Chain A
C-alpha cells in the first residue's frame, strides 16, 4: 500500500503546482471583481516563453523569467481590453486565448520547425530539502520537488498574509465587493485592477513555465489543456482564499493522480469518476450546498451587459 501511496502523493503535489500557481493568479483577479478566461492563454504563452528562454537564452532561470514575461504580455492585453477599451470580459478572454493558441503554435513551428519534438531543453530537477525530505510518507511528496514547488509554498501564505493584513489587500477585497466604497475611500480602483490582472499574468505564465520546465521537459501545442479553466474552478472551490486555493489545487491534483493509482490497482470503478468529482464539488460550492461559496459581489455585476 505504502509503495503506491508515496508516489501518489508526489504525483498529486506535482500536478497541483501549475494549477495552484495559475489559480492564485486568477484569485487576485477575481478578488478584484473580474474574471479572466484568457488565463488559459497566459499559461500557454508562459509555456512557450519558458521554451524560448530555456533553449535560446539558456537555463531554467531564463526559462521561468521569460515565462513570466509572456504571461504578463497576455495579461496586459486583457487589461487593455477590459479596463481601457471597456470591452466585455468574456470577449476579451476568448480572443486572447485564441490569440495565444495561434501565436504560440505558429511561432513554435516557425522557430523550431519539425525538429521541435526532439528539442532538448534544460529541465528543473527535483531539489530535496535537507531533513524535511526524509519525513515519513510526505517527505518526498512535499519536499523533494522542483524548486518552483517551494516558490508556491512561499507565495500562497504570502498572498494570504497580504490579502488579510495589508491595507492594499483590504483595498483589493473592497474593490471586489463594492468598488464605489473603495472609490469613496480614496482608492485608485482601476489602477489596482490592472495590477491584479498583471500579477495574475505573472503567475499564469509561471504555471506554464512549470509545465515545460518541471514536468514535460518540452513544449507541445495546446499543452495547457484547459488548466486555465480548471484554475477558475479551483478559485471557486477554494472560496476565493489562498489557502483554499492551495487545497483545491491539491484536490484536482489528487483526482488526476488517483486515476493512475486506480488503474494500477485494477479496480472496477471507472477512473473518470475521480476526474469529475472536483468539478461537481465546484458546482455544489457555487450553489451553496458545500457551504456557501460567496463570490466577490462585484464579480457578477461586471459580467452584466454594459449598455
Chain B
C-alpha cells in the first residue's frame, strides 16, 4: 500500500514535470515560429535573424550568463514583486516607481560612505536594505490610499510612478548630482561597493543568486507558511477569506503591498550596484511594466516567474544581437512578448469556458 502510494506520487510528479517540459518546448517552438513569421513579413533575413536571436541569448556560456541572465535579474525581482501583489489581490502597477525609489535609496547609501574591509559587505547589505525600504515606503503611499480611502491602486500606483521619476530627476540634478555638476546623474559608486561577480560566469553578479533565492523563498513562504496562505486566500476570494477563514483582509492587503514594493525597490538597488553603478533618470527601461507581463505569463507562480524572466532576458539579449548581426530592430521582441501574453489570455479564456460551472449550486440570485 505504501509503495503503491509512493509510486503514484512519483508518477504524478513525472507527469507534471513532463507536462511542463512539453509546454516549454511548445512555447519555444511558437516563439521561433512567430519570430520567423514576423521577420518574413517585415522583410528581414529570417535565417540570420533567428540565428542571431539564439546566439545572442543561449548560444554561448558567455551570452547566457552575461547577456541573458544579467538582464533577467531585475525582471526576476520585479516579476516576483508583481506576482506576489497580484496573488494577494493587489494590482500593483507601480513597480517602476518603487524600483526607482529603491535605486535612489540604495545609491544614496552607497554614495554616502566610503567603507573598507569588513564594512564593505555591510555597506552593500545596508544599501540593498535601504533600497527595499525605499520601495516599500513608496508602495505604502498607495497602500494607505487604498485601505483608508478605497482608492483604486491601479490608478494611484501609476501616478506615483511619475512622481518617482521626477523625484529621481530632482535628485540627480541636485543633492545627488555628480561632482562636476554637468551631467544629470549621481557620482559613480565606488568599485568596492559593486556587487561581486560570480566566478566563471562572465558578468553575472551575486544579484542573480539573490533573485533566485528570493523566488525560492517567495514560493516557499506562499506554500508553507500560515501568512503565505492568508495572502493566497485573500487574493483568491476576499469574502470567503474573511467569512470562512477569519482572515483580516485589510491587514493582509497592506502587508502584501509593502512586500511587493520592497521587492521592486530591491530590484532598483541591485541594478544600481551591479549594472548602472550610478543613479540617473533612465536606469529602468520599463522593468516595472515588463514585470507585469512576466508575472502574468508566469501565471503568478514563483518558479515560473523566474523562468519567464530568464525567457524575457533571453529575448532582450537575443534582440540586441539580432539588431547588431542581422539588422533586425530589437523592438520586434516587444511584439513577441505581447503576442505571448495575448495567446495565454485567449487560451485561459477558452479553458475556463470549457470548464463546467457548478450549475447545480448556482441558484437563482433572485428568490423565486
Answer yes or no: A and B touching, Cβ < 8 Å. Answer: yes
Interface residues on B, range: 35 or more
Q: Which residues of B contact A232 (CB under 8 A)?
A: 155, 158
Complex CA–CA separation, A56 to B331 (angstroms): 22
A281 to chain B minimum Cβ distance, whole angstroms, is: 10
Q: Given A229-B162, A287-B149, is A236 in contact with B345 using a C-beta cutoff of 8 Å?
A: no
Complex CA–CA separation, A95 to B290 (angstroms): 10
- For residues 87 through 141 of chain B, which have their beta carbon under 8 Å from a beta carbon of chain A? 89, 91, 93, 141
Complex CA–CA separation, A90 to B155 (angstroms): 11
Q: Tell me if A275 and B166 are in contact (CB < 8 A).
A: yes
Q: Given A106-B335, A107-B42, is A279 in contact with B151 using a C-beta cutoff of 8 Å?
A: no
Q: Tell me if B345 and A226 are in contact (CB < 8 A).
A: no
Complex CA–CA separation, A108 to B330 (angstroms): 12
B292 close to chain A: CB less than 8 A? yes
- Scan B230-249; emit 1 where CB is below 8 A from any A CB, else 0: 00000111000000000000
B44 close to chain A: CB less than 8 A? yes
Kindly identify which residue among B237, B292, B336 contacts A102, using a CB–CB cutoff of 8 Å: B336
Q: Which residues of B contact A107 (CB under 8 A)?
A: 42
B301 to chain A minimum Cβ distance, whole angstroms, is: 16
A4 close to chain B: CB less than 8 A? no
Q: Given A95-B338, A283-B145, is A272 in contact with B345 using a C-beta cutoff of 8 Å?
A: no
B334 close to chain A: CB less than 8 A? yes
Q: Given A102-B334, A105-B329, A106-B329, is A91 in contact with B345 using a C-beta cutoff of 8 Å?
A: yes
Q: Tell me if B345 and A85 are in contact (CB < 8 A).
A: yes
B339 close to chain A: CB less than 8 A? yes
Q: Given A102-B335, A303-B152, is A270 in contact with B173 using a C-beta cutoff of 8 Å?
A: yes
A267 to chain B minimum Cβ distance, whole angstroms, is: 14
A307 close to chain B: CB less than 8 A? yes
- For residues 282 through 303 of chain A, which have their beta carbon under 8 Å from a beta carbon of chain B? 282-283, 286-288, 295, 299-300, 303
Complex CA–CA separation, A29 to B239 (angstroms): 28
Complex CA–CA separation, A123 to B117 (angstroms): 61
- Scan B30-53; emit 1 where CB is below 8 A from any A CB, else 0: 000000001000111000000000
Q: Tell me if A101 and B342 are in contact (CB < 8 A).
A: no
B156 close to chain A: CB less than 8 A? yes
Q: Tell me if A272 and B167 are in contact (CB < 8 A).
A: yes
A73 to chain B minimum Cβ distance, whole angstroms, is: 14
Q: Tell me if A279 and B162 are in contact (CB < 8 A).
A: yes
CB nearest neighbor in B for A279: B159
Complex CA–CA separation, A275 to B164 (angstroms): 11
Kindly identify which residue among A109, A280, A283, A305 contacts B331, using a CB–CB cutoff of 8 Å: A109
CB nearest neighbor in A for B285: A222
Q: Which residues of B contact A97 (CB under 8 A)?
A: 289
Residue count of chain A within 8 Å CB distance of chain B:
50
Q: Given A110-B42, A272-B170, A286-B145, is A90 in contact with B91 using a C-beta cutoff of 8 Å?
A: yes
CB nearest neighbor in A for B144: A287
Chain A binding site: helix, strand, loop or mixed by DSSP?
helix
Complex CA–CA separation, A64 to B162 (angstroms): 29
Q: Given A105-B329, A270-B174, A283-B145, is A86 in contact with B43 using a C-beta cutoff of 8 Å?
A: no
Complex CA–CA separation, A92 to B342 (angstroms): 7
B270 close to chain A: CB less than 8 A? no
Q: Which residues of A contact B331 (CB under 8 A)?
A: 101-106, 108-109, 221
Q: Tell me if A307 and B237 are in contact (CB < 8 A).
A: yes
- Scan A240-260; emit 1 where CB is below 8 A from any B CB, else 0: 000000000000000000000
Q: Which residues of B contact A305 (CB under 8 A)?
A: 89, 235-236
A37 close to chain B: CB less than 8 A? yes
B195 close to chain A: CB less than 8 A? no
- Scan A101-143; emit 1 where CB is below 8 A from any B CB, else 0: 1111111111000000000000000000000000000000000
B264 close to chain A: CB less than 8 A? no
Complex CA–CA separation, A124 to B163 (angstroms): 32
A146 to chain B minimum Cβ distance, whole angstroms, is: 26
A99 close to chain B: CB less than 8 A? yes
Q: Which residues of B contact A156 (CB under 8 A)?
A: none
- For residues 300 through 348 of chain B, which have their beta carbon under 8 Å from a beta carbon of chain A? 329-339, 341-342, 345-346, 348
Complex CA–CA separation, A109 to B348 (angstroms): 34
CB nearest neighbor in A for B141: A283
A90 to chain B minimum Cβ distance, whole angstroms, is: 6
Q: List 27 A-B contacts (CB under 8 A).
A: A37-B158, A85-B345, A85-B346, A86-B349, A87-B349, A91-B341, A94-B296, A95-B341, A97-B289, A99-B338, A102-B332, A106-B329, A108-B329, A109-B331, A110-B42, A110-B329, A232-B155, A233-B158, A270-B170, A272-B169, A276-B162, A279-B162, A283-B156, A286-B156, A287-B145, A299-B152, A300-B150
Give the 9 A-B residue pairs with the shortest CB-CB distance, closest first.
A102-B334, A105-B331, A99-B338, A102-B335, A109-B329, A95-B341, A98-B338, A272-B166, A272-B170
